[in-house]
Structure 1
Amino acid sequence: MTSGTANPEAERAKSGPSVPAVAAGLLAALVGFASSFAVVIAGLQAVGASQAEAASGLMAVAVVKGIIAVFLSLNRRMPISLAWSTPGAALLATSGAVEGGFPAAVGAFAATGLLIIGAGLWRPLGRAVSAIPAPLANAMLAGVLLGLCLAPVKAVGEMPLFALTIIATWAIVARFKRLYAVPVAVLVTVMLLALSTELSGEAIGSIWPRLVPVWPSFSLPAMIGIALPLFIVTMASQNIPGMAVLNANGYRPDPGPLFTWTGIGTMLAAPFGGHAMNLAAITAAICAGPDADPDPKRRYWAAVVAGITYVALGLCAAAATALLAASPPILIQAVAGLALLGAFGTALMAAMAEARDREAAVVTFLVTASGLSLFGISGAFWGLVAGGAIYGLARWRAQA
């Protein structure tokens, strides 16, 4: 061996991406984008965004999360993948418009980013989020997702031919490769819509990528009804599981700085309509797993490729939004519902796992799913309040 040469393992780690890493990165980004962009658009439009503002929000969050993922992965030499908050988008879809319209929602998005930064910088806040009883957090998430998960059934009643074609595609592909089921269903949906939907000249003219700035406003109902539940569901359902995926694959970064960066990204995207971003969980497993590269020290390249691909896909957000805007809403909701079935089942099972906490979890689930709105505040917050009260009473009675 020649003296003075560098460590071979270190040299391999710094070398360019391998073919498996490139393939894993492309797959992670395509799956992450195709499986849930319809949920994001539906959520943004539900809280008052126009077509142009929804496209801008989708593009902003995709581009920003891609850039930050590339930076973090190269800086730490770890496969750190970012994603938009899909459960958070589902929360928006069930919340409806708030007092103050979309500017108030944008203010809530910025406040969510600030809370996530606080969770990263101030450990007690991060511990407080982790201290929310898991059954209640999962029950709230399940209640948020229920409405969208019913959409495929409703779509069969309204548009049976199209809906059954999409559902059958999803079911058949899932039997062979579940990871591809939703993206293939999305592809079939786009083909059906392209054949049956006629875009107007105005819609065609709006497909070019364009950021639409929205001046935020701040209202108490939006802070309590959107920012707080969005923060909780993003941390509990995305950031914490995202860290668990990295740890399970042998990577142990300090979670605080990573949470802080997702909060910074959320605040950067918010003025252009982006709702929230976080550490990826499902797609992170693609980039951090052995299929991305046999050498764990080189898997970070998969996350780098995924980040670059997200930036490219983000520039296509306006075209995707224009097609969806000209399409029957129930079909878009149906695809979103298929994408969220796994998350709904997992959340519901986790919520009901402990017999002693089941009653509190059921109350949280029902109040959240009911769509209750008091004082302009959405049902997700009241679900946590009602379930927390039952949970606290049960603990107090047991101690007494």
Structure 2
Amino acid sequence: MSTSVTGTPEAESPPAAGIGQPIGAGIVTALVGFTSSFAVVLTGLTAVGATPAQAASGLLAVCVTQAIGMIVLSRRYRMPLTLAWSTPGAALLASTGAVAGGWPAAVGAFVVAGALIVLTGFWQRLGALIAAIPVEIAQAMLAGVLLPLCLAPVKALPVSPAVVVPVIVTWLVLQRFAPRWSVLAAFAVAAAGAGIDIAVTHRRIDAAGLVPRVEWTVPHWSWQAMIGVAVPLYIVTMAAQNIPGTAVMKTFDYRVPWRAAMAVTGIGTVLGAFAGGHAINLAAISAALSAAPSAHPDPKRRWIAACTAGCAYLVLALASGALVVLVAAAPRGVLETVAGLALVATLAGALTAALTPAAHRVAAALTFLVAASGIGLLGIGAAFWALAAGLVVRWLLPPAQG
């Protein structure tokens, strides 16, 4: 603290920082967000019926829609409003598997989920209904959805040990010394291992697939997909992304323009769905990379970081086709290994939130087990039945028992 000529203390002003600092923070935000979970997106889209070309188009779509949304929101409100694709939603798709009605029905479910997100911004009762879902039940459902994906690295070990073991070791070492870059480093090792394997086995690469392109899909409306995909996708996106994302921004003294954010992400989800994108939302974990003081000492200048992240995502979108081609040619289990490692921390957080409250631990445990089982009844996936079972058991059992 300095002293004025009159002898009264003056408040310290924030240190000067150039525009390079928020630009750098924005690039890091995009790189971390993209590399940490793109494998989950590809796994989820493929699981519900997308061809490699449609999965590449879906990855391209979520990159572009969230990029445009970030640029629009950050410039309009002069806040570091960062967006992301729904990683929990992609994990949900991976656990759901084939949808009644195929890929077009899954796309129809994406459209409905986007419409529900828009509706949430304008209808307070719907938002209140989602907020009323007990945290332990929602997190237990998410944990159950994530478990099969997080088991993938273990299952891939005996299948492709030469590639999978270095990937796991790299991830583990970086978790110790630089956790932020652990998944990026693991992917780099996986890509190198896949490249060596392709060269040794003389596998052919589809050069045409390296160029990113949009694969349009006409939605099909299936009631099984609406209940088994659209509703759970909407719930996990709201409960695990939008609501926590708002809380993260509040810790940095930013008040998210809720209606505008839901409108932009919901409309972006609807438009991106026709190209195969599943859902976009407010960023949660990666939001801090652009909103923290490390992005810029002056809170009014941090919006530049979010805007830069949007521009960086437009560049990263160009890699969607090449990534799918690499994954298609890689040894079995490599993509699943990277995706599983990327979700370990999220699984740990979800299990902690689900099982820490003792009052309703049985209901949460049952929710987790049903979601992890992957069962499907009447063409509806396990996530919906897990949520229903958890809520019923929580209602039936007294807090002391449940």
Same fold (TM over 0.5): yes
Q: Residue 87 of structure 2 corresponds to which residue in structure 1? A: 86
Q: Please give the alpha-carbon distance, in whole angstroms, between the structure 1 residues aligned to 2:18 and 2:349.
A: 34
Using the aligned pairs only, state the percent identity. 49
Matched, 1:275 2:278: yes
Aligned to 1:185: 186
The 3-state SS of whatever aligns with 1:137 is helix
Q: Which residue of 2 aligns with 1:74?
A: 75
Alpha-carbon distance in structure 2 between the residues aligned to 1:202 and 1:335: 21
List gaps (5 residues or longer) in structure 1: 1-11
Post-superposition offset of 1:396: 8.8
Counterpart selection for 1:343 from 340, 346, 369: 346
3-state secondary structure, aligned to 2:157: helix
Q: Is 1:111 aligned to 2:82, yes or no? A: no
Identify the range of structure 1 (51-60 vs 153-162) with the bigger mean alpha-carbon deviation: 153-162
Partner of 2:212: 209
Q: Indicate whether 1:231 and 2:234 are aligned.
A: yes
Deviation, 1:329, is 3.8
Distance 2:306 2:18 in 1: 10
In the other structure, the counterpart of 2:267 is 264
1:83 alignment partner, SS class = strand
Matched-pair contact (CA < 8 Å) for 2:359–2:399: no
Alignment match, 1:372: 375
1:98 counterpart SS class: coil
Q: CA deviation at 1:62?
A: 0.3
Tell me the amino acid that sits aligned with residue 224 of structure 1.
I
1:47 matched residue in structure 2: 48
Letter in 2 for 1:314: A
Counterpart residue number, 1:320: 323
Find out whether 1:126 has 2:123 as its counterpart: no
Q: In structure 2, the residue corresponding to 1:275 is in which secondary structure?
A: coil
Specify which of 222, 225, 249 is matched with residue 222 of structure 1: 225
Instruction: Tell me which stretches of 4 or more aligned residues in structure 1 moved more than 3 Å.
Output: 198-202, 395-398
Counterpart amino acid of residue 192 in structure 1: G
Backbone CA RMSD of aligned residues: 1.7
Which residue of structure 1 aligns with residue 335 of structure 2?
Answer: 332
* Residue among 304, 307, 310 paired with 1:307: 310
Report which of the two has the higher share of helix. Answer: 1
Contact 2:142–2:236 under 8 Å retained in 1: yes
Return the offset for 1:119.
0.8
Question: If the length of structure 2 is used for normalisation, what is the TM-score?
Answer: 0.93
The corresponding residue for 1:8 is none
Q: Aligned partners of 2:168 and 2:399: how far apart in 1?
A: 46
Match of 1:255 among 249, 255, 258: 258
Deviation at 1:152, TM superposition (A): 1.0
State the distance in 2 between where 1:201 and 1:194 align. Answer: 11
Instruction: Count the aligned residue pairs.
Output: 385
Contact 1:17 1:301 survives alignment (8 Å): no
1:284 aligns with 2:256: no
Letter in 1 for 2:226: M
Please list every run of 5 or more consecutive structure 2 residues that lacks an aligned counterpart in the other structure. Answer: 1-13
Cα displacement (A) at 1:201: 5.7
Tell me what 1:135 maps to.
136
Q: In the aligned structure 2, how far is the partner of 1:30 from the partner of 1:191?
A: 18
Cα distance in 1, alignment partners of residues 335 and 217 from structure 2: 25
**1:124-158 Cα deviation digits (max 9, x unpaired):** 00111111000000000000000010111112222
Q: CA deviation at 1:269?
A: 0.1
Quote the offset at 1:161 in angstroms.
2.5
TM-score (norm 1): 0.93
